[in-house]
């Protein structure tokens, strides 16, 4: 390390808190101008909007700085047990608004900037969001660290500082085209790089046996190459509580030693290429949501950040003289899906090879330090690494995995004598189609606790995906239903509604969301309903203005806003939603109904498809083509519109969700582990049309059947149909409305007369649809009729919307974190 330990003061002032700027408009302006002058090196009059944004960000940072240093110092001093959240993704969203809120500076900043002739919202619009995640899993990690900070829980988030986050989506002729996400091109004022705290991460090579000084047989890893992991710290401010936790993201750089070797060989060009090779590790986020890519670089990323994080925690937090036998008194590593599971053999390697532990001693410690959250039910989403690849990259880890497996299978044979079929099913090593490590099995063996992310999902994990493990270790299994942070998704995103809530029940709901219950009686108060409607109307106007400027999209006034935003995936069934639109259109143009029978409605889609996922991309193409035909057709009398703004991200979600009337949560039952968008919509006063899947089940239980539009098969019905044999052609032949919609696509009307453009989609639905779109079509259409009936009675609708909000406080990520603390971590908050 270049610098010595930070907590040995070398100056009497070293432990004194850094001065926090005065919490007043004057104090703020002074600090802002100071940053503009000294950091950006410009005067106010010569400053660009980017200068102003950066100076503002630095100003807000300064207000949080003393709390951050204090939190960090206390967490090292206090020696309390901490959580290390290990996640390959953090979908943070913009930082400025959240930091202003956490420091109680929003009003002061607005006024101070106004005095400087600057509009705060304009500076906020400058920020490029760090899109370091794909969808729900990455956003969940961001919500969780927000809640941990707000609830005073000693914790640190560890992840990867991707140079390119999730791609920027554009449409060319209605097809998705991906652009690199250059979120760092103007630099980020929110990060604190610490190159002096770099950690060396090894790869490749071989292992060898040797005898140590005490005559013990030992193994050592002789790696072939290495990279430097450079930590970048981010503040994670709690809401108005004086705590600022840390998110530590690792960036890869080439090591000196590595270059030198090649430089000395005289091959300069190869040396420079080698540098690029090392730095590729943190270059880009893999854009597949739910379907992991078995790419070597991906495994490199996983090991890179997990090994750096474990080393970092042991060296920086615990310090030299800590007895690692007691590691589980100080830390629990929470595994966000299987992506960080290589941390299990890594901790074993550190304890055995580096610290001289015996196997049993090391396993005793390791098996208490990890807990595993599973986020999926789709078999194709379960990560598997070929032993050939894993052994080439991490030879010592593969040996350790084999050794863990040997001991584990012995246990299985003990418990289930003679049941070799079970042994084969449970083995950490799969033999077909190739020899490979099943990461979910490794995680299940090592973890103290295994949790799913909604009640139904956790039950299906126990009954199906991980049934053998639940038979062996029932006590390991638990559920923690997901949640979302009320700070970002209610207080910030919907400040009008927040104002109404606070004026009605006080501001306690921001950190105690169950208090929204107090609003239940307001559902019957006409005056409150009127105010609630005004808020919705305001949010719709705000969205209209944004989409006009951002996408050139014109939202009509007075429409029901029907929103489906989430990653594009067959199981989520955007296809069902677009078939509904096509069907409405078909009925009008064929004269079956007249346009004025349609409820004026705008259907908004937002969705990115994984770049290599053909059917998902074809669905985007279809939606865009339907939009361009439907939106222009005068026969609809402007009563049905489709809007598909490109590049759906957290920033857009914050504007879209508060404006929505109807939330589409229409996955095939048993496929969506939880969903978290569903929670955000309900909390912002949208009604849900949804299947009995994921957290929809719990939302419906809480809001009540009268305020939720349920449709579709249940999970057992899906299973039964699958077992009996699903024949989509029968639904097509027997349902004229469905047939007419599908035929309309095949007529070429959405593809300039070409009948074959969407064959990939129609034949998938007709012949081999794993996600049974046709089977739920009828029921979906019927539920949409109920939606229209209810919407016709605005008082009834608003009443239900208010009750949705009032009854879903359970879905705060604060509650999720409390559940993790009691059911999994055995941790209590500080103070
Ligand atoms: C979820 C993923 C995921 N489940 C692999 N699994 C990935 C898997 O890059 N990869 O390889 C990326 C993401 N993401 C989602 O997690 C579930 O589908 C949602 O239902 C759930 O709400 C969310 C948070 O638990």
Sequential DSSP letters for 747-765 = TTTTTTT-SSTTHHHHHHH
Residue 7 pLDDT class (50, 70, 90 cuts): low
In the annotation, is 676 catalytic?
A: yes
> How large is the ipTM?
0.99
Report the pLDDT value the prediction gives residue 15, as an integer from 0 to 100. 65
Each residue of 709-723: pLDDT tens digit?
999 999 999 999 999
Q: What is the pLDDT of residue 16?
A: 66
Check whether residue 537 and residue 471 sit in a common domain. Answer: no
Q: Indicate whether 8 pLDDT > 80.
A: no
Q: Is residue 336 in some structural domain?
A: yes
With the CA atoms of 707, 711, 715 and 721 taken in that order, what torsion angle do they form, in degrees rounded to the nearest 10? 170
Both 386 and 338 in one domain: the answer is yes
Query: Do 392 and 298 share a structural domain?
Result: yes
Is there an atom of ligand 1 within 6 Å of 288 CB? yes
Task: Tally the domains of the chain.
Answer: 3
Cβ(90)–Cβ(157) below 8 Å:
yes
Count of CB atoms within 10 A of residue 350's CB?
18
What spacing in Å lies between the alpha carbon of 458 and ligand 1's midpoint?
A: 14
Query: How many separate helices (H) and strands (E) can be counted in the chain?
Result: 33, 25
Kindly state whether residue 61 falls inside one of the protein's structural domains.
Answer: yes
Taking the C-alpha atoms of residue 491 and residue 319, their distance in angstroms, rounded to an integer, is: 39
pLDDT of residue 76: 84
Instruction: Give the C-alpha separation, 207 to 392, whole Å.
Output: 11
Residue 250 backbone dihedrals phi, psi, to 5 degrees: -100, 140
Residue 18, in any domain of the structure = yes
Q: Tens digits of per-residue pLDDT, 557-566?
A: 999 999 999 9
Does 289 sit in the ligand 1 pocket, CB within 6 Å?
A: yes
Beta pairing class for 477-479 and 450-452: parallel
- pLDDT in the model for residue 471: 98
d(CA 473, CA 604): 45
Q: What's the average model confidence in pLDDT over 518-537?
A: 98
609 alpha carbon to ligand 1 midpoint, in Å?
A: 14
Burial environment of residue 421 by CB neighbours within 10 A (0 to 12, 13 to 18, 19 or more): exposed
pLDDT in tens, 447-476: 999 999 999 999 999 999 999 999 999 999
Q: Is 10 a catalytic residue?
A: no
CA of 583 to the centre of ligand 1 (A): 31
CA distance linking residue 584 with residue 737, whole number of Å = 9
Model pTM above 0.90: yes
Range of the domain at 28: 1-78+95-128
In a domain, residue 184? The reply is yes
Same domain, 89 and 105: no
Cα-to-centroid distance, 729 and ligand 1 (Å) = 31
What average pLDDT does this structure show over 257-264?
67
Nearest alpha-carbon partner for 153 in 73, 79, 245, 66: 245
DSSP state, residue 167:
P
Q: Are residues 737 and 759 in the same domain?
A: yes
Task: For residue 149, give Cα distances in angstroms to 185, 192, 239.
Answer: 29, 18, 8
* Banded model confidence at residue 682, pLDDT cuts 50, 70, 90: very high
Q: Give the three-state DSSP class for 172.
A: strand
Q: Binning pLDDT at 50, 70 and 90, where does residue 297 land?
A: very high
Q: Which of the residues 94, 540, 567, 580 is marked catalytic?
A: 567
Q: Whose CA is nearest to atom 10 of ligand 1?
A: 292
**From the centroid of its chain, how far is CA 110?**
30
Phi/psi at 477 (nearest 5 deg)?
A: -90, 140
Nearest to 621 by CA among 752, 716, 488: 752
What average pLDDT score do residues 788-808 get? 98
pLDDT bracket for residue 260 (50, 70, 90):
low
Instruction: Provide mean pLDDT across the span 680-704.
Output: 98
- For residue 357, what are the contacts with CB-CB under 8 A and spacing of at least 6? 324, 351, 365
CA separation for the pair 274, 268 (Å, rounded)? 10
Q: How confident is the model at residue 291 (pLDDT cuts 50, 70, 90)?
A: confident
SS3 129: coil
What is the reported pLDDT for 4? Answer: 45
- What count of Cα atoms within 13 Å lies in the side-chain half-sphere of residue 275? 11
Q: Is 566 marked active-site? A: yes
Which of 70-79, 245-254, 487-496 has the least mean pLDDT? 70-79
CA distances for 513 relative to 682, 688, 804, 814, angstroms = 13, 20, 13, 8
Q: Which position among 366, 676, 762, 798 bears the catalytic label? A: 676
For residues 113 and 162, membership in a common domain is answered with no
Q: Are residues 564 and 424 in the same domain?
A: no
Q: What is the pLDDT of residues 768-791, one digit of tens each?
A: 999 999 999 999 999 999 999 999
Let me know whether 467 and 448 are in one domain.
Answer: yes
Does any ligand 1 atom lie closer than 6 A to the CB of residue 376?
yes
Claim to verify: residue 334 and residue 311 sit in the same structural domain: yes
Chain-wide mean pLDDT for the chain? 96
Q: Which residue has the higher pLDDT, 64 or 320?
A: 64
Pull the structure tokens for residue 284.
């880009």
Residue 831 lies in a domain: no
Residue 296 CB neighbours (<10 A):
14
Distance 290 CA to ligand 1 centre (A): 5
Task: Determine the pLDDT at residue 1.
Answer: 35
Residue 552 lies in a domain: yes
In a domain, 830, yes or no: no
Asked if 194 and 250 touch (Cβ cutoff 8 Å), the reply is no
Q: Mean per-residue pLDDT for 599-619?
A: 98
- Percent of the chain's residues with pLDDT above 70: 97
**Dihedral of alpha carbons 650, 457, 408, 362, sign:** positive
Separation between Cα atoms, residue 733 and residue 590, nearest integer Å: 19
Reduced to 3 states (helix: H, G, I; strand: E, B; else coil), residue 132 is strand
The pLDDT confidence band at residue 831, using thresholds 50, 70 and 90, is low
Q: Distance from the CA of 369 to the center of ligand 1, in angstroms? A: 23
Same domain, yes or no, for 207 and 301?
Answer: yes
Nearest Cα residue to 345 out of 391, 413, 286? 391
Task: Give pLDDT, residue 275.
Answer: 80
Percentage of the chain modeled with pLDDT above 90: 91
- Is omega for the bond preceding 433 within 30 degrees of 0, making it cis? yes
Triad 328, 333, 338: Cα angle to 5°: 140
Please provide the size of the chain in residues: 831
Query: Do the domain assignments include residue 166?
Result: yes
Residue written as tokens 């059917």? 615
Question: Which of 75-79, 210-214, 327-331, 738-742 is the least confident region?
Answer: 75-79
The reported pLDDT for the residue numbered 272 is: 77
**Do 240 and 261 lie in a common domain?**
yes
| Atom 8 of ligand 1, residue of closest alpha carbon | 290
CATH number at residue 291: 3.40.50.2000
Mutation probe of ligand 1 site: the residue of 132, 673, 695 with most atoms within 8 A of C-beta? 673
817/808 Cα distance (integer angstroms): 16
Is 366 annotated in the active site? no
Q: Which two tokens stand for residue 640?
A: 């049905």
Per-residue CA distances from 63 to 15, 25, 706 (Å): 18, 13, 47
For the CA of 373, the closest atom of ligand 1 is 25
Cross-strand partners of 386? 436
Residues 514 and 632 in one domain: yes
Largest CA-CA distance found in the chain, in angstroms, rounded: 90
Q: Is 351 in the pocket of ligand 1 (CB under 6 A)?
A: no
């Amino acid at each position: 390390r270049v610098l010595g330990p930070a907590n040995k003061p070398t100056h009497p002032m070293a432990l004194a808190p850094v001065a926090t700027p005065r919490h007043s408009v004057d104090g703020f302006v002074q600090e802002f101008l100071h940053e503009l002058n000294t950091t950006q090196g410009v005067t106010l009059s010569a400053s660009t909007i980017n200068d102003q944004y950066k100076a503002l960000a630095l100003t807000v940072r300064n207000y949080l700085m003393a709390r951050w240093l204090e939190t960090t110092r206390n967490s090292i001093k206090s020696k309390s047990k901490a959580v290390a959240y290990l996640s390959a993704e953090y979908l943070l969203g913009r930082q400025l608004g959240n930091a202003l809120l956490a420091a109680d500076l929003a009003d002061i900043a607005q006024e101070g900037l106004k005095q400087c002739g600057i509009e705060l919202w304009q500076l906020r619009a400058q920020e490029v969001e760090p899109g370091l995640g794909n969808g729900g899993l990455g956003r969940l990690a961001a919500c969780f660290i927000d809640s941990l900070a707000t609830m005073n829980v000693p914790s640190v988030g560890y992840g990867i500082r991707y140079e390119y986050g999730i791609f920027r989506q554009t449409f060319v002729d209605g097809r998705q085209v991906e652009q690199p996400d250059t979120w760092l091109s103007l630099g980020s004022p929110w990060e604190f790089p610490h190159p002096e705290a770099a950690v060396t991460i090894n790869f490749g090579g071989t292992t060898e046996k040797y005898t140590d000084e005490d005559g013990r047989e030992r193994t050592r890893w002789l790696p072939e190459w290495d990279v430097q992991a450079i930590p970048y710290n981010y503040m994670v401010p709690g809401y108005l509580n004086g705590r600022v936790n840390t998110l530590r993201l690792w960036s890869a750089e080439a090591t000196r030693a590595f270059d030198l070797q090649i430089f000395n060989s005289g091959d300069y060009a190869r040396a420079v290429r080698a540098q690029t090779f090392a730095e590729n590790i943190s270059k880009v986020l893999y854009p597949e949501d739910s379907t992991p890519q078995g790419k070597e670089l991906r495994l490199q990323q996983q090991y890179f950040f997990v090994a750096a994080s474990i080393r970092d925690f042991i060296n920086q937090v615990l310090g030299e003289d800590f007895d690692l036998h007691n590691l589980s008194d100080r830390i629990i590593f929470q595994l966000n899906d299987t992506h960080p599971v290589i941390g299990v053999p890594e901790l074993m390697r550190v304890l055995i090879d580096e610290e001289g532990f015996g196997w049993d001693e090391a396993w005793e410690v390791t098996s208490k330090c990890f807990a595993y959250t599973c986020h999926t039910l789709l078999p194709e989403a379960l990560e598997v690494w070929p032993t050939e690849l894993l052994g080439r990259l991490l030879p010592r880890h593969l040996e350790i995995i084999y050794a863990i497996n040997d001991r584990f299978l012995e246990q299985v044979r003990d418990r289930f004598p003679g049941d070799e079929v079970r042994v084969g099913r449970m083995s950490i090593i799969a033999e077909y189609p190739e020899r490979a490590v099943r990461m979910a099995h490794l995680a299940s063996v090592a973890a103290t606790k295994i949790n799913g992310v909604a009640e139904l999902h956790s039950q299906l994990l126990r009954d199906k995906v991980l049934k053998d493990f639940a038979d062996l270790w029932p006590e390991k299994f638990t559920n923690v239903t997901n949640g979302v942070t009320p700070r970002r998704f209610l207080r910030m995103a919907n400040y009008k509604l927040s104002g109404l809530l606070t004026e009605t029940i006080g501001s306690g709901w921001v950190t105690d969301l169950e208090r929204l219950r107090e609003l239940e009686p307001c559902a019957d108060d006409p005056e409150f309903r009127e105010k609630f409607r005004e808020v919705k109307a305001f949010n719709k106007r705000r969205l209209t203005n944004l989409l006009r400027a951002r996408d050139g999209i014109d939202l009509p006034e007075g429409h029901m806003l029907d929103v489906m935003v989430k990653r594009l995936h067959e199981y989520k069934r955007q296809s069902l939603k677009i078939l509904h639109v096509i069907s409405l259109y078909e009925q009008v143009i064929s004269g079956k109904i007249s346009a004025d029978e349609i409820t004026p409605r705008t259907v908004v889609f937002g969705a990115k498809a994984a770049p290599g996922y053909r059917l998902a991309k074809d669905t985007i193409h279809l939606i865009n083509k339907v939009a361009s035909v439907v939106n222009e057709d005068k026969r609809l009398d402007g009563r049905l519109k489709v809007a598909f703004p490109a590049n759906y991200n957290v920033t857009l979600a914050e504007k879209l969700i508060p404006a929505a009337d109807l939330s589409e949560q229409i996955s095939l039952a048993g496929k969506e582990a939880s969903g978290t968008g569903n929670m955000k919509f309900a909390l912002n006063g949208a009604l849900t049309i949804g299947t009995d899947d994921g957290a929809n089940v719990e939302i419906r239980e809480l809001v009540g059947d009268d305020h939720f539009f349920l449709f579709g098969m249940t999970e057992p019905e899906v299973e039964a149909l699958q077992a009996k044999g699903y024949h989509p052609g029968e639904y097509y032949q027997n349902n004229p409305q469905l047939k007419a919609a599908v035929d309309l696509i095949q007529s070429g009307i959405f593809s300039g007369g070409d009948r074959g453009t969407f064959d990939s989609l129609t034949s998938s639905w007709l012949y081999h649809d794993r996600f049974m779109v046709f089977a739920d079509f009828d029921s979906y259409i019927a539920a949409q009729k109920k939606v229209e009936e209810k919407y016709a009675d605005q008082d009834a609708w608003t009443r239900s919307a208010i009750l949705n909000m009032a009854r879903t406080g359970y879905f705060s990520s604060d509650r999720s974190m409390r559940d993790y603390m009691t059911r999994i971590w055995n941790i209590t908050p500080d103070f």
